[in-house]
Amino acid sequence: MTGCLNVTPPGHQIPERGVVPPISREVQMKSYEVTKMLNGMHNAILTIGLPGCGKSTWAAHNALGFRIIERDIIRSRLCEELGIEFSWATWDTSLEGRVTQLGDTDLAQAVADGADICCSDTNLNPRYRRRLAERLLGAGYSVTCVLFDIPVRVCKVRNALRGPMAVDKSAYERLIPLFLDARSSLEQECSRLGATLIRLTDH
């Protein structure tokens, strides 16, 4: 099944001034539509959005029973093996290749196990995102892309509140054009791939 579903909780607005609220409970939980739309023998969800938009929180509430594959989880796992706590301030970027290898291994194992899969990363790199979707589709999965169409200013504030887990400013700025491109092109991309698009909004 292909198509696009827009989910905007009724009456939920983000104020122009004042404290920016955390991602709403409505956005976290309203998306039961996702599980209703999933079909096929195996299901995969790809989240797409900026750091701080609520991807991991959403996945924890909505991808119940799914195998969660996420780079930050793998980074934390590597740090635990080294006896340290993961934070971007102390993260050794030379380990990113290892993170990718472990993520590929985890994904291959999940496919081999016939598990439902949720890849809850930013997935903003279009080439990587397409390869991931094609890999899952080729393995017989029904793929649903969940776009977190949250205002950039809101995501920036939420990212800053993450403390040592916050993505640094320069890296964050490089992700913004990729996010804006995904907002405008993802529906067409999903249509070409044969995937379903769900667009979550918080404004």
Query: The domain spanning residue 39 has which CATH number?
Result: 3.40.50.300
For residue 13, which phi and psi values (nearest 5 degrees)? Answer: -135, 150
Q: Is residue 75 part of a domain?
A: no
In angstroms, the CA 124 to CA 175 distance is: 7
Q: Which domain holds residue 130?
A: 20-65+117-201
> pLDDT of 121-170, one tens digit each?
999 999 999 999 999 999 999 999 999 999 999 999 999 999 888 999 99
Token duo for residue 199: 């667009």
- Is 35 among the domain residues? yes
End-to-end CA distance of the chain: 27
Predicted pLDDT of residue 164:
86
Rounded Cα distance, 199 and 42, in Å: 21
Residue 156 lies in a domain: yes
CB 194 within 8 A of CB 141: no
Number of domains in the chain: 1
Provide the 8-state DSSP code for 164: G
Q: Is residue 79 part of a domain?
A: no
Is there a domain that residue 141 lies in? yes
Q: What is the pLDDT of residues 187-202, one digit of tens each?
A: 999 999 999 999 998 7
CA distance readout (Å), 172 to 51, 86, 100, 122, 179: 8, 18, 20, 11, 11
Q: Evaluate whether residue 150 is within a structural domain.
A: yes
Q: Is residue 121 part of a domain?
A: yes
Within a domain: residue 82?
no
pTM (predicted TM-score): 0.82
pLDDT at res. 43: 95
Inter-residue contact 14 to 189 (CB < 8 Å):
no
Whole-angstrom distance, CA of residue 68 vs CA of residue 44:
10
What is the overall mean pLDDT for the chain? 84
